[in-house]
Amino acid sequence: MMNVGLRTVLVVEDHEDIRELLRLQLTFDGLEVLECATGEEALELVQMHAVDAVLLDAELPGISGYDVLAQLAGSAIPVVVISGRTTSDDVVEAFRLGAHDHIAKPFRGKELRARVTAAVELKRRHDALRHENLILGSESRSDTLTGLANRRKLEADLQILSSSARRHDHPFSVALVDVDHFKAVNDTYGHGAGDQALRTIAERLEAALRVEDVAGRWGGEEFLVLLPYTDLEGAHVVGERLRHRVGGDPILLDDGSLLRVSISIGIADGTDVGDLLSRADAALYRAKAAGRNLVLA
Ligand code: GH3
Ligand code: MG
Ligand code: MG
Ligand code: MG
């Protein structure tokens, strides 16, 4: 996704000789150069290629450099305007339209290269930051073992879904899922196999749900499932489906052994988050006490 190799500059200049000069300057610094003679072509090229900066002639036939600039504003591609019009008003207008920099014609090669390189560097830092934010964003919401929503994400979704259900008067339920005798799995097969089993259980839970449902890891070997538009009766149906999907087929472990697991589920409906969770927890406790592998409200 990120272009970490060659950096690409798009040169937009209608005079062929000047375009040639600009290209030579930029390739000198190891930049990859795309070129075109009109603003129309420029707008097409930035759609088709990963462009890191645009060197844009202000005076173009057809749509003007300033129009191109205005259309690129907000695209995160820095634009360096190069222009024979060098009054303060022209320069100010370029910056007002979102130019990153302005170079007067005739240009000095070394200065031109420094300015374009600075624009490319800005884009590189922007990409790196965006990449970091994407990773941080998903890491702070997902559980590293199973890839499901983590507790923080579940708590946030619980607030959103329950208040939406309250406002629109829709039913809302949760299912608290706990793996039965999971300590024995670790004790018998080792912690690595236990982790593998949790990943498979998570996959099976997710696969058994509707897209609008949210399944997450509440902690340890406990999962919480949020069921929007679902009353207690519906939650019971979902709970039974989860119980069958998770416990139906044995889990194939890396060492070739087959592991059978079962889950107990406590369900509750309502829109008061604290009350909902404590009732689901109490129901789960009763399911355990009643012999496990059960769904109880
Ligand atoms: P039950 O719920 O049926 O009462 O029995 P249990 O054995 O599942 O309950 P308990 O709460 O005593 O133990 C839960 C076990 O889950 C403890 C721990 O070994 C295991 N566990 C919790 N988190 C993880 C994890 O991330 N990886 C692995 N491998 N095991 C975990
Ligand atoms: Mg021109
Ligand atoms: Mg537990
Ligand atoms: Mg358990």
Question: SS3 for 57-102, per residue?
Answer: ECCCCCCCHHHHHHHHCCCCCCEEEEECCCCHHHHHHHHHCCCCEE
Asked if 67 and 39 count as a contact pair (C-beta separation under 8 A), the reply is yes
- What is the residue with the minimal CA distance to atom 10 of ligand 1? 183
Q: How far is the CA of 31 from the centre of ligand 2 (A)?
A: 22
Partnered with residue 237 across adjacent β-strands are none
Q: How far is the CA of 142 from the centre of ligand 3 (A)?
A: 20
Asked whether 107 lines ligand 1 (CB < 6 A), one says no
Q: For the segment 79-137, what is each residue's pLDDT rounded down to a tens digit?
A: 999 999 889 999 999 999 999 999 999 999 999 999 999 999 999 998 888 888 877 77
**Alpha carbon of residue 211 to chain centroid:** 17
- What is the residue with the minimal CA distance to atom 25 of ligand 1? 220
Residues with CB under 5 A from ligand 2 (ion): 14, 57, 59
Q: In angstroms, rounded to a whole number, what is the distance separating the alpha carbons of residues 42 and 206?
A: 45
pTM of the model: 0.64
- Nearest ligand, CA of residue 57? 2
Q: For the segment 239-267, what is each residue's pLDDT rounded down to a tens digit?
A: 999 999 999 999 999 999 999 999 999 99
Only one residue has tokens 């302005």, namely 102
In 10 A of CB 292, how many CB atoms? 14
Partnered with residue 228 across adjacent β-strands are 172
Only one residue has tokens 């789960």, namely 284
Q: In angstroms, rounded to a whole number, what is the distance separating the alpha carbons of residues 174 and 234?
A: 11
Task: Kindly give the residue spans of alpha helices, DSSP state H, lying in the chain.
Answer: 16-28, 39-48, 65-72, 88-96, 109-139, 151-168, 182-189, 191-207, 232-248, 273-289
Q: How far is the CA of 48 from the centre of ligand 2 (A)?
A: 23
Q: How far is the CA of 239 from the centre of ligand 4 (A)?
A: 16
The angle formed by the CA atoms of residues 222, 226 and 228, to the nearest 5 degrees, is 170
Task: Give the strand pairing for 32-36 and 79-83.
Answer: unpaired
Asked if 157 and 226 count as a contact pair (C-beta separation under 8 A), the reply is yes
**Positions in the chain short of pLDDT 50:** 1-4
Q: In angstroms, rounded to a whole number, what is the distance separating the alpha carbons of residues 250 and 168?
A: 41
* pLDDT of res. 45: 96
Indicate which atom in ligand 1 lies nearest the CA of residue 187.
Answer: 19
Q: In angstroms, rounded to a whole number, what is the distance separating the alpha carbons of residues 295 and 297?
A: 7
Q: How far is the CA of 222 from the centre of ligand 1 (A)?
A: 8
Asked whether 172 lines ligand 1 (CB < 6 A), one says no
Backbone phi, psi, residue 97, to 5°: -85, 0
* pLDDT of res. 5: 64
Closest CA to 126 of 74, 55, 186: 74
Only one residue has tokens 């409200």, namely 297
Asked whether 180 lines ligand 1 (CB < 6 A), one says yes
Q: In angstroms, rounded to a whole number, what is the distance separating the alpha carbons of residues 152 and 214?
A: 13
DSSP letter (8 states) at residue 108:
P
* pLDDT of res. 234: 97
Q: In angstroms, rounded to a whole number, what is the distance separating the alpha carbons of residues 264 and 181?
A: 10
Indicate which atom in ligand 1 lies nearest the CA of residue 197.
Answer: 29
- What is the residue with the minimal CA distance to atom 26 of ligand 1? 220
